[in-house]
Chains A and B, each alone.
Chain A
Amino acid sequence: MKRYKLIPTLLAGVMAAGLLAGCGTKEETTPADSEPKKEQIVNVYTARNYEVDGVLYKQFTDETGIKVNVVEGKAEELIERMKREGQSSSADLFVTVDGGVLNNAKEAGVLQKVESKVIDEQVPAHLRDTDNQWIGLSTRARVIVYSKDRVKPEQLSTYEDLATDKWKGKVLVRSSTSLYNQSLVASLIELNGEQKTEEWAKGITANLARNPEGGDRDQAKAIAAGVGDVAIMNTYYFGAMLNSKDQEEVKAAQQLGVFFPNQDTNGTHVNISGMGLTKHSKNKENAVKLIEFMTSEKSQTTITQANYEFPVNAKADRPELLKTWGDFKAQKVDFAKLGTYNKQALLMMTKVGWK
């Protein structure tokens, strides 16, 4: 009879061990709410997966003694997690790389207003949410990259132009599942209206040199390989390619030029990455301190040097590459609109067959 209980007991044992191990980790890494005075912390849910962010968090801890706890993930999943955790949520800051998603977080009700003079001084108003529920951390431009051999910059003008017959079979862009493309289309819906944008998306799809595949870097390489002549891609990927450890990638990037489109019209599409204070933050002061730190001149210089993103703090020192590109006129679209039109943009793209 004794043997009867062996397996269930074993199972219970394993489960209990798991539970204990789990709790053990919890005590080590996640300070519970019951002991807030022991250690100063700030908990970050981030969808910005860059090495440089970790470096800055470490500097912040060294300077202030406030420990930064991090969970990385995909933005939409993290928002869903905060929604489900509700007021028990342990997140203090939410960080992500798209204006539309920042706005989505705001509308999902997981953020709250940040009040800080330091931040207001460091980050210009148009790079912050209208209610200060999120603060810009960096911006990135979605530009046209072209083959220096086959395309003269004079031939390029606007995003709209890429949809004309002139570029038939020469355009490269990644798939409609890319948030960067969705935001670009959303911005065009805001500027040109729905009908014109749909025609544009149809035109781009018709002009594609190949079915959308791969990431932004793959589009650049496809130009080098002669698959197409122009590609829509984010500037910082281009910067990263020029400074890659892979010499072949550097060589490929050197064959390409960067063109900031729509300079005579609405300006180049820009997106923002930013951070917001969560609604149920339990370490509010520390969280605000971290935002102040991340948008400071010094941190902003670090971010742009490491990642080739554009700083939000005007005092930051840009790397040489960004300086050579010079100043450019950016779209004046409210970042919140990128979220508003995101779904419409995706529906439109799937409808016209933009894979």
Chain B
Amino acid sequence: MKSTIRRRINSLTNGWLIVSLVGATVLLLPVFAILFSVFSAPSENWQHIKEYLLADTIGQTLLLVTLTGLFATLIGVGLAWLVAAYQFPGKRFFRWALVLPLAVPPYIAAYTYSTMLSYTGIVQTTLRNLGVTVTPGLIDLLSMRGAVFIFTMFLFPYVYLITRSFLERQSGSYLENARLLGRKPLAIFFRVVLPISRPAIIGGVSLVVFEVISDYGVTSYFGINTFSTAIFQTWFGMYDLSAAVRLAAWLMVGLIGFFLIERLLRRQQRYSTSTGKLNPLVPKRLRGWRSVLAVLFCSGVFLIAFLIPVVQLVQWAMWSFQDVWHAEFLQLATNTVLVALMATAVIMVFAVIVANVIRMQRNGFSFTLSKLVTAGYSIPGAILAIGVLSLFIWLDRVLAPVYAQFGMVEAPLVLSLSLVMLVFAYVVRFMATGYNAVESGFEKSGTKYTEASRMLGHGLTSTFLKVDLPLIKGAVLSGAILTFVEIIKELPLVLLLRPFNFETLATKTYQYASDERIVEAAVPALCIILASSLSVAVFHQIGKRVER
């Protein structure tokens, strides 16, 4: 018994655990700063918020999240299954192209679609020219309806990507058995595909949910009261940052609670393969009307969620190109990509370390830690930005004597005026994107190989490099794509935490969009989409090589 404990301690007291704990503590500083506000005395506005705002806010947030989660799951898992399990014309293209909607920032999509569908937009204008008058409001992106549509169409790839990579590698034996036992495709989808890919789906859906909850651009434009809009109303309208932070803290508590419950509910179920053999799925060829249907479904989604808005943006970009385009755009693109690469690298390395330590521990503490490390995703960007800002200004004050050694006088701000602060904030905020992917990778590979390797005398690190890493390469890669694309699109953090004159494509787009100039915003918005799409394509190429 004693030796077991000692061995356990020995096996864990190593660089891995230390790096995880130190890193997690640093990441958690701003998160804790926000959580602590729950314990402080509420300000006078809190009463008003509870009385007039909270019920509507919670109701609308839940409705929005539930509907979006549901549709994103159906579309995401449906497409993932189709692409993973079947062979049909254009599949090679759709396999990666269906990730592209992620390249379009939801608030840009919202502006684009609502302008297209507005009175002056292409749809109604064309209809008018044909002599058809549209009843006002009929095809309008009315509040809730529009938001669910936008979030579903532009966020479902989270579910799609994670689920597809799971199905392609893991589900072979299940699906083949189900097929052999004569199940119909629809039954297989609901009885086999959905249940076995649950960890992957939950990983993907939780990203969608986080994204929807912390969104401000789309919801404030469509006039929906979510937690995020309530938070900003409290801060900007009532000048009450502490009440706003309090709201954010309760939101975070609620989300962590939600995931704890979800975890408890599936505690008994294990999802790693029971046989030692990985059995990749062999796609079945679709024929006749089935293959037509598959192509229609994939191309329909691709049209709506990528091609149509992009073509519209291209048209606007042509109108405004001459006025908007400057040589600096190249600089903007370089800035955007470099800072995103930096943050993505840190996130992926750290995500792998923490996820590895946590899966070795497998207890309540490690689970809570994993949820805390990823909690940054649920905090609206601007609130998190304030937490990070305070941390860095404090750090600069502490470091002032050091700066003085280099001849800088009167307590200068060094770190908080540098890119370090922004990169740090990205890491706190987007840890979840990288981590969820890695975690689901570990979940499906199980611990059997790791245990075998340890038993054969290999250390944790050597096992990790030789056994674990090759197994989760795919997951790490998809995590990296998601994270990178997220950072390129991100707005609130970069807006508040960037150094002087540090413009990115997102801040440039914001400059126009915030002034309701969607035609002018089209050029930088397209640059974001192009940069993200290219990165998806590049990662896809690397991915193919990794899989070979």
Contacts and interface: CB of A to CB of B under 8 A. Distances in A.
A27 to B, nearest CB: 9
B459 A4 contact: yes
A interface, size bucket: 35 or more
Nearest to A352: B52
Interface string A183-199: 00000000000000000
A81 interface: yes
A33 B412 contact: yes
A106 B512 CA distance: 28
Interface in B304-324: 316, 319-320, 323
Given A177-B237, A213-B222, A222 B119 contact: yes
Interface stretch (B75-83, B258-266, B495-503, B537-545): B495-503
A342 interface: yes
Nearest to A217: B516
B119 A252 contact: yes
A228 B78 CA distance: 42
B287 to A, nearest CB: 46
Contacts of A244: 519
Quick one: which of A32, A50, A355 has the most chain B CB within 10 A? A32
Contacts of A4: 14-15, 459-461
Interface string A1-33: 001111110110011011101110110011011
Contact of B120 (A80, A179, A221): A221
Interface string B223-265: 1010001001101111111000000000000000000000000
Contacts of A14: 342, 345-346, 349
B360 interface: no
Given A25-B499, A73-B496, A177-B233, A81 B389 contact: yes
B255 to A, nearest CB: 23
Given A18-B423, A76-B239, A104-B239, A245 B396 contact: no
Interface residues of B, number: 96
Contacts of A88: 393, 396-397, 410-413
B496 A22 contact: no
Contacts of B517: 240
A18 B350 CA distance: 14
B237 A346 contact: yes
A122 interface: no
A21 B515 CA distance: 33
Given A22-B419, A25-B419, A88-B393, A7 B407 contact: no
B499 A227 contact: no
B236 A26 contact: no
B413 A85 contact: yes
B409 A33 contact: yes
Interface string A206-221: 0000111111111001
A246 B19 CA distance: 55
B25 interface: no
Interface in A70-93: 70-74, 76-78, 80-81, 84-90
Contacts of A273: none
A interface, over-half SS:
helix
A245 B495 contact: no
B406 to A, nearest CB: 8
A115 interface: no
Contacts of B18: 8
Contacts of A69: 500-501
Contacts of A246: 120, 316, 319, 519
Contacts of B461: 3-4, 6-7
Contact of B516 (A15, A18, A216, A347): A216
Contacts of A81: 389, 496
Given A23-B418, A227-B137, A49 B514 contact: yes
Interface string B205-237: 000000000000000111101000100110111
Contacts of A86: 393
Quick one: which of A21, A22, A84, A176 has the most chain B CB within 10 A? A22
Nearest to A246: B519
Contacts of A177: 220, 229, 232-233, 236-237
Interface string B375-415: 00000001001100110010011000000001111111111
22 contacts: A7-B464, A18-B423, A22-B422, A26-B417, A29-B500, A43-B500, A49-B515, A50-B515, A76-B239, A84-B389, A85-B413, A88-B410, A90-B500, A175-B220, A177-B229, A177-B236, A211-B143, A227-B137, A245-B519, A251-B120, A252-B120, A350-B48
Interface of A: 3-8, 10-11, 14-15, 17-19, 21-23, 25-26, 29-30, 32-34, 43, 49-51, 69-74, 76-78, 80-81, 84-90, 104, 174-177, 179, 182, 210-218, 221-222, 224-227, 237, 240, 244-246, 248-249, 251-252, 342-343, 346-347, 350-351, 355
Task: Return the 5 tightest CB-CB contacts between A and B, nearest first.
Answer: A225-B119, A22-B419, A248-B120, A22-B418, A346-B237
Given A21-B338, A244-B519, 5 more contacts: A19-B418, A29-B500, A177-B237, A343-B239, A350-B48
